Amino acid sequence: MNKKYLIAIDIGGTKVHYGLFNNKFKILNDSKRPIKSTRNIFKDFTCIVNDLKSFLNKLSIKTTEIRCIGVCVPSVIDSETDTIIWTPNLKNWKNFNVRNFFDKEIGIPAFLSYDGHAAVLGEYSIHYKKEVKNMIFISIGTGIGSGLILDGKLFLGSHNLAGAIGWFINDKNEISEDKALVLGWLESKVSGKYLTGLVERGFSNDISKGRKILPTEFFELYKYKEENRKIKFIVEEMLDYLGMAISNIATLLDLDLVVIGGGVGSKMGFALDYLKRIVIRNSQPYITKDLKIRLSKTKNASLVGAVINAVEKADYKNCKILR
């Protein structure tokens, strides 16, 4: 049977995003489901496979029509064996072979990628391959991570974790043996998890009449109610830390482009000029004078990158986008 489809699965801290692609990497359909974390990775992936089957059934697509599956996760991974080693934002997600699981449960080859790498690979391949050689994609959702294209190639690092900027430290007072084992310092200051924590602690009660607000609503309140000092302080502190991180990365790597995306990051268009000012003031001037900071142009960057990674691993030689 003609295997004319590709599948991507983007697993985040709060949801799973499924995408159906044709062999030219055009997305045909997608679906998002809340992640059903049971703190048992086998049970969680069983739910993910069942949701995938339901997604395909609704589209009247048979598993025999699928060439391969790309799965991206916010995890430490072994890319050679497609094994999840450890996932900070999902309890007990560790030491799990994704490729073997999908092969057994659904009979389709599945290949794993770190979500930051998938995002930058998708964004670069679709929009910037002819325009830039050095870029970073910073994805801000439940947590914060990134991926790097250096000299026109995806940079993986020695442990396939290059871009794990959530572990940056910008404050010497926060150096601690305990915190780094649980959560990176920058992620504790620039992430959806940080904003959600403020809501859960009742921070928003005095500005929203007791209604719990979504993390991204902080940005709306900042844009339209700047007279609220608490909102102004929270958002600008978050942007200051992000700007510091961008300044350091851009100076270190001499980048052409910084792209910001993810569920929270995609709402930060209002902050691009603010971030640019921080970078210009605090970075090597000859490097950053031409640096561009943009929002992601790719609606489903991680899905696209996960599929490209899967096809590359599966060694489909007719994959022109990778040449």
| Structure confidence at residue 321 (pLDDT) | 44
Q: Could you tell me if 146 and 270 lie in one domain?
A: yes
317 domain residue, yes or no: yes
| Structure confidence at residue 274 (pLDDT) | 96
Hunting for tokens 């489809």 — which residue is that? 5
Q: Could you tell me if 185 and 217 lie in one domain?
A: yes
Q: Taking each helix axis as running N to C, give the angle between helix 41-58 and helix 98-105, from 0 to 180 degrees, rounded to the nearest 10.
A: 50
Q: Could you tell me if 89 and 148 lie in one domain?
A: no
| Rounded distance between C-alpha atoms, residue 307 and residue 126, angstroms | 12
Q: What DSSP assignment string belongs to 205-259? A: HHHHTT----TTHHHHHHHH-TT-HHHHHHHHHHHHHHHHHHHHHHHHHT-SEEE
pLDDT block averages, 10 residues each, the chain of length 323: 89 92 95 85 93 96 95 90 86 90 94 95 95 96 94 94 91 67 82 85 59 78 73 92 96 97 94 96 90 94 95 64 40
| Rounded distance between C-alpha atoms, residue 88 and residue 97, angstroms | 17
Question: What CATH number should be reported for the domain holding residue 20?
Answer: 3.30.420.40
Q: Could you tell me if 32 and 137 lie in one domain?
A: no
- H-type alpha helices, 133-177: none
| Structure confidence at residue 217 (pLDDT) | 83
Q: Which domain holds residue 203?
A: 130-295
